[in-house]
Amino acid sequence: MKNKKYYYTLFILTVALIFATTSCKQNKTQNDTELVISEESQKEETLYRPNFHFTPKANWMNDPNGMFYLNGKYHLYFQYYPDGNVWGPMHWGHAISKDMVTWEEQPIALYPDDLGYIFSGSAVVDKNNTSGFGKDGVTPVIAIFTYHNMEGEKAGKIDFQSQAIAYSLDEGMTWAKYEENPVIPNPGIKDFRDPKVVWDETINKWIMSLAAGNKIMFYSSPNLKDWTFESEFGENLGAHGGVWECPDLFPIQVDGSDKIKWVLIVSINPGGPNGGSATQYFVGDFDGTRFILDEGFSGQLQDKNAVWLDYGRDNYAGVTWSNIPKSDGRRLFIGWMSNWDYARDVPTFKWRSSMTTARELKLKKNEYGFNLQSLPVNELFSYASKNIQKDSINSNEIEGLLNKSDINFAKLNLRFKLKDLKKEKYSLLFFNKVGDTLSLGLNNLENEFFINRQNSGEVDFSEKFASKISKVKASKNLQELKVQIVLDKTSVEVFYNEGETVMTELFFPKQPLEMFSIISNDETFSIENLNIQEFKFK
Ligand code: FRU
């Protein structure tokens, strides 16, 4: 019996051949041209449309916005330009999921108007109707977003960004903008955007964190309409290689204790640890007015300058869901899986960009202070359809193992002992027959984790895409290494030691990556435990 993958590969080769013959013809008729376009876009769908990462059906997407949970549904809005495949006048697109894995795109939620484009922001479920928008017992959902006034920007003004609200009385399907927008006019700050709002139950007020150039400003409000400036944070802390964007301030229980800490996520563009845009975080306390950095965490910052949520190049502008029920209790996150360095150049044309896998964030205390760990949400694993489980397997047995199976890699878990590891490089390779290779793993000479996509297929669309190998220092004194890898057609998300260190990166192979092996000069190297799950999606 021929395996599925064989057909899959054959199909792509066939399409490529048809395309090659058709495109050789001179004097194309319109029908020919349409045929070429549709074959090209079919190839793009097959080869690059992710299996399970959210992408819009067509056109440009960037940041996740306004995520909230209500009545069994996770809502995801996103920066969207419906008329082109590069950034343009921003709308909020919308998608809904029951499990944060399978998404259904919805009609556009918010359109630009006279006040400006609709930039990033958040949404909250106003259970107590503090805003007064609720009618006849219907709970309102409030979106809080930035208006970006293009005419103002073009005219060289600096006050072209302001904060505004809209409300929905049908669980986020349709929205009415507030007549008295903006709710926070611009105070004379050029970059003044991306409001993220949380209910602070200690002081019974809404707290907004807002990116303002090189710092975060906090505002409070009893009703989401009237806002008071409280304090600011971060001018001299963390990374400042670029402008601060998309903050998220939230309380979180320290894992394994009943203590509550507050985490402040801040995206920055450029200035990320491996180039371009990335997301850093801070751990501290919020006293209703100010965010006060935790002492231990401040020590971590002195060592490292900045601490990053993800050290790969493709996780940006991520924030967390609001209104997750207390009975669930998770802090759930999703990011934009791209980088402003090359987002508009990636070789997909029908749509541009996808989101990361939805992740659960946990705050763990360790010997250094605090670590914000992330792992894919458990819901993803309910799609597992095939399971390969091996104990104590030598690295040279791996290749055969997977070549014979028809696994369409989706999740791999590996565990190995580190204390006997040599000063060598341990690389996991994903590759195909045409020579595209994605490699990642541990460089034990430098004590670094790495992802190398320099030979992963299409890389020339931007000079910045594969100019460097991404790296991050591994924590010292590791006894054991657990690696969880989530693989889709064009992305890899690597979670080391329960998400203590995360790396997310894109790649665009010329054919699907179908083979897997482990390369090292250490011949005695063996994997204590290997588990591979294939996911099935309809
Ligand atoms: C982050 C960002 C936000 C802004 C949005 C515009 O990627 O620059 O600061 O609101 O994108 O699309």
Asked whether residue 277 is domain-assigned, the answer is: yes
Element (H, E) at 111: none
Q: How open is the CA angle 238-242-244, to the nearest 5 degrees?
A: 65
CB 108 within 8 A of CB 80: yes
Choice among 19-28, 192-201, 252-261, 296-305 with the minimum mean pLDDT: 19-28
- For the question of residue 114 being annotated catalytic, the response is no
Residues 131 and 265 in one domain: yes
Apex 332 CA angle, 61 and 119, nearest 5: 35
| Residue burial 368-385, b: 16+ Cβ < 10 Å; e: rest | ebbbbbbbbbebbeebee
Angle, helices 30-48/4-24, rounded to nearest 10 degrees: 150
Q: Report yes or no on 349 lying in a domain.
A: no
3-state secondary structure of 21: helix
Asked whether residue 157 falls in the same domain as residue 290, the answer is yes
Atom nearest to 146 CA in ligand 1: 10
358: left (phi over 0), alpha (psi -120 to 50) or beta: beta
Mean of pLDDT values over 240-261: 97
Torsion-angle region of residue 369: left (phi > 0), alpha (psi -120 to 50) or beta?
left
Kindly state whether residues 19 and 104 are assigned to the same domain: no
Q: Is the CB of 319 under 6 A from ligand 1?
A: no
Residues 42-57 pLDDT 10s = 989 999 999 999 999 9
193 lines ligand 1 (CB under 6 A): yes
Count Cβ atoms below 10 Å from residue 142 Cβ, excluding itself.
26
Indicate the length of the chain as a whole number: 538
> 304 Cβ partners below 8 Å, 6+ apart?
none
Q: Which amino acid is at 438?
A: L
Rounded Cα distance between 221 and 468, Å, is 45
By three-state DSSP, how is residue 11 classified?
helix
Inform me whether the pLDDT recorded for 9 exceeds 60.
no
DSSP 254: B
Residue 244 sits in the same domain as residue 179: yes
Percent of the chain with pLDDT over 70: 91
Ligand 1 centre to CA of 467 (Å) is 25
SS3 25: coil
What band does 20 get if pLDDT is binned at 50, 70 and 90?
Answer: very low
What CATH number is associated with residue 108?
2.115.10.20
What are the phi and psi torsion angles at 294 (to 5°)?
A: -65, 140
State if residue 109 touches ligand 1 by the CB under 6 angstroms criterion. Answer: no
Would you say the CB of residue 221 lies under 6 angstroms from ligand 1?
no
More confident of the two residues 40 and 309: 309
**How many Å apart are CA 501 and CA 495, to the nearest integer?**
6
> Is residue 52, in this structure, part of any structural domain at all?
no
**Confidence check: pLDDT of 250 > 60:** yes
Cβ(79) – ligand 1 distance below 6 Å: yes
pLDDT at residue 177, rounded to an integer? 98
pLDDT(466) > 50: yes
Residue 245 Cα to ligand 1 midpoint, Å, equals 7
Q: What is the DSSP letter of 4?
A: H
Distance 516 CA to ligand 1 centre (A): 37
Q: What pLDDT is recorded for position 357?
A: 98
Same domain, 106 and 243: yes
Catalytic residue among 32, 63, 258, 460: 63
Res 30 pLDDT > 80:
no
Nearest-atom index, ligand 1, CA of 246: 9
| Strand ranges, E, within 254-368 | 260-269, 278-286, 291-293, 316-320, 331-336, 351-352, 359-366
Q: 444: domain CATH number?
A: 2.60.120.560
* CA-closest candidate to residue 270, choices 320, 306, 216, 301: 306
For residue 116, the 8-state DSSP code is: B
Give me the amino acid identity at 338.
S
Instruction: Say yes or no to pLDDT of 374 above 50.
Output: yes
By alpha-carbon position, which residue is closest to atom 9 of ligand 1?
245
| Same domain for 312 and 212 | yes
pLDDT tens digits for 55-94?
A: 999 999 999 999 999 999 999 999 999 999 999 999 999 9
pLDDT tens, residue by residue, 100-144: 999 999 999 999 999 999 999 999 999 999 999 999 999 999 999
End-to-end Cα distance, the chain: 23
Work out how many domains the chain is built from and give that number.
Answer: 3
Q: Which domain holds residue 2?
A: 1-47
Residue 317 CB–ligand 1 contact under 6 Å:
yes
CA–centroid distance, 316 to ligand 1, in Å, is 10
- pTM of structure: 0.92
pLDDT band at 410 (very low <50, low <70, confident <90, very high): confident
- In the 3-class helix/strand/coil scheme, how is 127-185 assigned residue by residue? CCCCCCCCCCCCCCEEEEEEEECHHHHHCCCCCCEEEEEEEECCCCCCCEECCCCCCEC
pLDDT for the residue numbered 33: 60
**17 with 133, same domain?**
no
Residue 411 placed within a domain: yes
pLDDT of residue 406: 53
